[in-house]
Amino acid sequence: MSKESLLECLNPQQREALLYTEGPLLILACAGSGKTKVVAHKFAYLLKAKKFPASSILALTFTNKASKEMRERVLSLTGKDIGDSWIGTFHSQCSRLLRKEIRPLGYKTDFSIYDEDDQCTLIRHILREFRFHEALYKGVAAKISSLKSSLIGPEEFLSTGDGFGFDEKLAKVYLRYQSELKRCNALDFDDLLGLTVTLFEKKPEILEKYRERFAYILVDEFQDTNYAQYRLLRQLGSGGRNISVVGDDDQSIYRFRGADVNNVYRFEKDFPGAKVMRLEQNYRSTQNILDVAYAVISKNPTRKPKKLWSGRQGGEQVFHCWLADEEEEARHVAKTIKELYLKGEYEFNDFAVLYRINMQSRSVEEALRDEAIPYHIVGAISFYQRKEVKDIIAYMRLVLNRSDNVSLRRVVNSPPRGIGAATLSKMENEAKKKSLSLFEVIRSAVKANGVTSAVKEKLEGFIQVIEQLASRKYRTAADLMRDIVEKSGYRECVDVERAENIEALIASSHETDLRDFIDRVSLFSGLDEPAKDKSVSLMTLHGAKGLEFPVVFITGLEEGVLPYFKALDNQDEVSEERRLFYVGMTRAKEILWFTGASRRKLYAKFQDQQASRFLADIPKKCCCWIEKTKAPQVSRAVRPGSDSKKPAFPYVAGCRVRHPKWGVGVVRDCYGDGEEQKVMVNFPNIGIKKLVLRFANLEKI
């Protein structure tokens, strides 16, 4: 694509942001304003018009999904091979850099990367060792992550006391945790950022090397940066260098992960001479939805002024329905989805139901099941978090890094080898005394006959498997995985479903470099899961960021739910709750529903609820207000456990059928009993037809 073509498909604001390439630039990109398009086009423009080598542009995103999309867009725009480009998440690009440069910090370049599950496993192990309450592991992990994202190491935490909410037990665990990571030659997610910053501080010549390499820096979702990420950008981009950051303070919703919206506000101060531009045209939603969203977000006291507008003037009013309880709310959502679906205008995957806290999904799931509506929960257990997948990956990490104690503990008895807890505890103590890895101690004990013959045989078999695998050169990750499942005996100890998941894992790594695969899987998040076809999406408001749907329901618009009760005493947190609501609203393209209930079960007890304060900010003319404080008589499917039985139908909603006259259609609904059973089918060229099943002559395909 030529330079002129790159500019033609952009609006004036986008074009101005693309053409500004000298010095720092802050692009305030409102929801749905095409910011990803601008970032990708700017990358392509730097390649095509400015003749920058792809390897000289550092482009940082927050999810693997976003970085993959950016790569694909740049490739389609330029037609150039950008294989050596630095496009990726903050974590993946820091990992890439540390793989080359980490030795001055006392780590080897074959370090393992621990995900959240691995981190929690190690912390639980340490809590057991210290005889601390093991159930606290999640809170401890979150606190350590918070300290690390603020670049506060265990020594600084110990020395500064109450300034960082000092807790003696936490300090003890943090110190041991970091020591164990180093002993395992392992890094957690936060280390990837923190150690890169530390490396640049301790080795200014390495910082200068990368400052010279990166002639241009592009940052997407800038409002989500934490202190460590912002510090990294200042290290690489200060001094009037070419850096463009794209974000929206109105969409900063990850404070609980360390994100600091103030990074948006301090950019102009920390990058002198920075130019500020705004992208305000929304390409997603109708103007009525945007008017409602703006009415809410504009009440936040601290924000960069901007106002969304859309070429899609008007649109349906936003709907608000107040119901008797959460069960009634859920039935209302399910019925509304089914009615819109049966009209033939929307498929099930066009709908999203958003909520503030996960426990809200239960009643919605029940109501959708009652209506036979397919759904999936976004952010549920990831494929890569399944036990069998984690086990195989742990084997791979141990083969590459025998110092990885967490991976060894995971697989030493997978499949079961009869290696007891007492034996492992003895080896653990020996490893600590000698400052060695578990693998080294076990191998030495086997060679020196330091254990009984029965134990020796079990340990020896495990050591032989790992050393045999480590002695071979593998061209791809799939080759190593095939050897692992065969030589470890793992395949024989799993059921059919788990075996199929292992085969899927192997298939996904075909022709993939071993180290690249391990790093990609370690850095995978639930947000990177592919979307499910033909089903309603259920997710938290936090999980909805970056997505869009024709029809959106935001449930639980009540004080204490949205805004969340823990935020009510802090104005900054109430502002973030308002931003969270704004993000949810701006996911909707055509239809937006708000629902709330007079009574809801929260944390094991029923509570009377009041409408959310945010609803008072919505102009009455923009919203259709519906109140159903009494539970209406709703015709609905019988719940499991009832004496009544649902009639059996040969078809289900969503299946495809062929009619002798009208061709192929999609079943929308089945209803009626006995010989009066009817089916509603949508034929693309004919429309919706209601047919008596016994006369319809339908063929299921």
Residues labelled catalytic: 35-36, 220-221, 251, 587
d(CA 616, CA 95): 47
Ranges assigned E (strand) in 349-406: 351-355, 375-377
Looking at residue 238, its amino acid is S
Looking at residue 514, its amino acid is L
- Name, in order, each residue with C-beta under 8 angstroms of 47's C-beta and a sequence gap of 6 or more: 54, 57, 74, 78, 80, 82
Helix (H) or strand (E) holding 37: helix 35-48
Task: State whether residue 561 is helix, strand or coil.
Answer: coil
Residues 141 and 123: beta-carbon distance below 8 Å? yes
Buried residues in 56-67 as b, exposed as e (16+ CB within 10 A): ebbbbbbbbbbb
Instruction: From residue 676, give the alpha-carbon distance in Å to each of 265, 634, 669, 671, 679.
Output: 66, 22, 14, 9, 10
Residues 324 and 609: beta-carbon distance below 8 Å? no
Q: What share of the chain is helix, strand, coil (3-state, %, to 5)?
A: 50, 15, 30
Sign of CA dihedral 177, 524, 90, 582: negative
Number of CB atoms found within 10 A of residue 653's CB:
21
- Name, in order, each residue with C-beta under 8 angstroms of 238's C-beta and a sequence gap of 6 or more: 270, 271
- Name, in order, each residue with C-beta under 8 angstroms of 178's C-beta and a sequence gap of 6 or more: 153, 154
